């Protein structure tokens, strides 16, 4: 198999009908995947090129793993929105129990909405040392504009970089014998509508490091076919690039 690029390059057999058909089938499958699964902003030719270029395999190395093969390492655990308080308690207990002897797993668990508040509180504006407090004071007079600003901040690359840095800091802790293979993300109900779960999964892909950790998103809703219902009442037909755990 070729290491990315066209199948027509396979051992120089440019006239081999088998490889011509194989290439056509591959492109058709990739285009179909992009059309039905990719977010609207990624439904373009450049996405197809990136997917083709990432298809490296090595016939002479059976242990080789393409680092791009598991780009989407998201997993989703669904639960009823009415169990939100209990679920948060269970997450915290689970994280604590994983650190016990014989397991030695240190999970980075983060409430995405609380992290957004922390991010905004550490920012300043021209008239206030805390952007979060500035927005809280402004909310009474201009709630629509505050909602718009919060949505812009929550979906920004800077906030996602802020999350990525927190994950990196967790992974880079001094050697202590603990494994750190998981990141738990919760608070998806609280951060809505500023950041949709589907939008988060899509936008965070550029920071995602599947070889270093797996992300488990705790989702207060249920799957219904190809769509999800957040909080039991908000329909979301966007694509979710995550594997369901339950």
Residues 6+ apart with CB under 8 A from 166: 108, 110, 115
Has this prediction a pTM greater than 0.75? no
Q: Look up residue 114 and give its two tokens.
A: 């609380």
Residues 6+ apart with CB under 8 A from 133: 121
pLDDT of 241 higher than 60: yes
Q: How far apart are CA 29 and CA 31, in angstroms?
A: 6
Residues 6+ apart with CB under 8 A from 242: 72, 74, 75, 76, 201, 217
Reported confidence tier of residue 58, pLDDT bands at 50, 70, 90: low
State the pLDDT at residue 112. Answer: 96
148: helix, strand or coil: helix
Exposure of 218 by Cβ count < 10 A (0-12 exposed, 13-18 middle, 19+ buried)?
A: buried
How far separated are the first and last CA of the chain, in Å rounded? 36
Q: How far apart are CA 25 and CA 121, in angstroms?
A: 51
Tokens 């979301």 -> residue: 236
Average pLDDT in the 68-89 region? 78
State the pLDDT at residue 53. Answer: 64
94: helix, strand or coil: helix
122: helix, strand or coil: coil
Q: Dihedral sign, CA of 28, 30, 33, 35?
A: negative
Q: At 184, which helix (H) or strand (E)?
A: strand 182-186
State the pLDDT at residue 111. Answer: 96
State the pLDDT at residue 226. Answer: 53
State the pLDDT at residue 6. Answer: 44
What is the CA 117 to chain-centroid distance, rounded? Answer: 19
pLDDT in tens, 130-186: 989 988 888 888 999 999 999 999 999 999 999 999 999 998 877 777 888 889 999
pLDDT of 208 higher than 50: yes
53: helix, strand or coil: helix
């Amino acid at each position: 198999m070729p290491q990315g690029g066209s199948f027509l390059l396979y051992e120089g057999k440019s006239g081999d009908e088998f490889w011509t058909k194989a290439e056509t089938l591959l492109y058709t499958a990739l285009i179909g995947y992009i059309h039905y699964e990719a977010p609207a902003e990624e439904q373009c030719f450049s996405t197809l090129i990136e997917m083709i270029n990432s298809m490296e395999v090595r016939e002479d190395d059976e242990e080789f793993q393409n680092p791009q093969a598991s780009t989407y390492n998201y997993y989703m655990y669904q639960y009823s929105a009415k169990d939100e308080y209990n679920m948060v308690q269970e997450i915290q207990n689970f994280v604590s129990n994983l650190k016990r002897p014989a397991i030695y797993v240190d999970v980075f668990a983060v409430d995405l909405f609380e992290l957004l508040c922390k991010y905004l509180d550490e920012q300043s504006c021209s008239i206030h040392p805390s952007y979060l407090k500035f927005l809280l004071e402004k909310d009474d007079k201009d709630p629509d504009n505050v909602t718009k600003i919060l949505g812009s901040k929550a979906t920004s690359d800077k906030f996602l970089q802020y999350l990525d840095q927190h994950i990196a800091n967790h992974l880079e802790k001094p050697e202590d014998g603990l494994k750190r293979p998981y990141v738990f993300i919760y608070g998806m109900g609280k951060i809505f509508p500023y950041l949709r779960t589907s939008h988060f999964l899509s936008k965070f892909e550029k920071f995602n490091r599947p070889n270093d950790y797996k992300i488990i998103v705790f989702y207060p809703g249920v799957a219904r076919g190809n769509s999800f219902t957040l909080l039991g009442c908000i329909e979301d037909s966007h694509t979710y690039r995550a594997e369901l755990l339950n």
